[in-house]
Amino acid sequence: MLIAQISDHHIVAPGALAYGRIDSAAMLRHAVSVLNELRPQPSLVICSGDLIENGTSEEYAHFKEIIGVLKMPFLPVMGNHDRRDEFLAAFGSQVQNSSEPFIQYVRPAGDIQIVILDTVTEGSGRPSFCADRARWLDRILGASTCPSFLVTHHPVFPTGIEWMDEDTQEWTSFLSDVVDDHRSSIIGMTSGHIHRAIHTRTFDLATSSCPSTAHQVALDFESPGPIFSQEAPGFQIHRIESGRLTTYTASLERFLSGFDPRQA
């Protein structure tokens, strides 16, 4: 089974540019057109948070207009730029099972389930995962008879990019306790937020993050403050076969420019 992931779209109002220079709407439109051309088509697409920039209903309407062209179902995830009230107004019917006031839900996909988690601290960019959210996850994993793929907006590992990093040991403590209790039924975890593909191991599980469809976070381990880059945006495909998770990262630039080398 194939699951696609795109992330951190940072959609602004129609006609506006994110950060005064990034045409995030055009970039998401391109990402959707690439996903629609994939053969075979993934079963669904995870949109791993920061769907919009400022959390307004106008931005969510703009996001929905663009993503509405996608041929596959999509799973929206709460990011720190999202707002729970506007998110629910936009996607309420898609996120039943939610652990209110947090937006956590489950979707079956083939012989696994995808568990969408909410790591947002309302009004803050800092991640959190409290006892209430952990209890919900414990219940969901305990009740399931199939493997789970967990999705968070914030990476659950230290990224090494200092200005973006949070103390993961501190904010993931409730999460790691639940994962410890259910590790054998979890095939891996993925995230967004860091606007860059990173692959590592956390909680003794394969963990990764997905590039943004818009701007990337510069690969600079020492910058004391924010630096974005306009390198190529990307997406990921998670291939799940016989309980093995394999993650592919691909560029959205020139993705559809394949050629046959025998015809050179």
Which position among 30, 193, 196, 238 is part of the footprint of Fe ion (CB under 5 A)? 193
Q: Which stretch binds Fe ion (CB under 5 A): 7-15, 25-33, 86-94, 134-142?
A: 7-15
* Helix orientation angle between 84-91 and 57-67, rounded to the nearest 10 degrees: 40
Closest CB to Fe ion among 219 and 256?
A: 219
Binding-residue total with Fe ion (CB under 5 A): 5
CB 63 → Fe ion: shortest distance, Å? Answer: 13
Rounded-to-integer distance, Cα 117 and Cα 99, Å: 9
Alpha carbon distance 116, 49 (integer Å): 10
Candidate segments 43-51, 65-73, 133-141, 245-253, binder of Fe ion by CB under 5 A: 43-51
The answer to whether 162 and 224 have CB atoms below 8 angstroms apart is yes
Applying CB under 5 A, the span of 1-9, 27-35, 84-92, 226-234 interacting with Fe ion comes to 1-9
> Segment 49-78, which members bind Fe ion (CB under 5 A)?
50
First to last CA, the chain: 34
Task: Give the bridge partners for 239, in sequence order.
Answer: 2, 246
Contact status, residue 209 vs residue 67, Cβ threshold 8 Å: no
**Segment near Fe ion (CB under 5 A), from 94-102, 188-196, 237-245, 256-264?**
188-196
Smaller CB separation from Fe ion, 42 or 233: 233
To Fe ion, the closest distance from the beta carbon of 10 in angstroms equals: 6
**What are the phi and psi torsion angles at 30 (to 5°)?**
-65, -45
Check residue 48 for interaction with Fe ion (CB under 5 A).
Answer: no
Binders of Fe ion in range 93-152 (CB under 5 A)? none
Of 24, 48, 80, 202, the residue at the interface with Fe ion (CB under 5 A) is: 80
Pairing of strands 124-127, 120-121: antiparallel
Q: Which residues of 203-240 are buried (b: 16+ CB within 10 A; e: fewer)?
A: bebbbbbbbbbbbbbbeeeeeeeeebeebebbbbbbeb
- Give the residue, chosen from 76, 79, 127, 233, that forms a contact with Fe ion under the rule CB under 5 A: 79
List contacts with Fe ion (CB under 5 A).
Answer: 8, 50, 79-80, 193
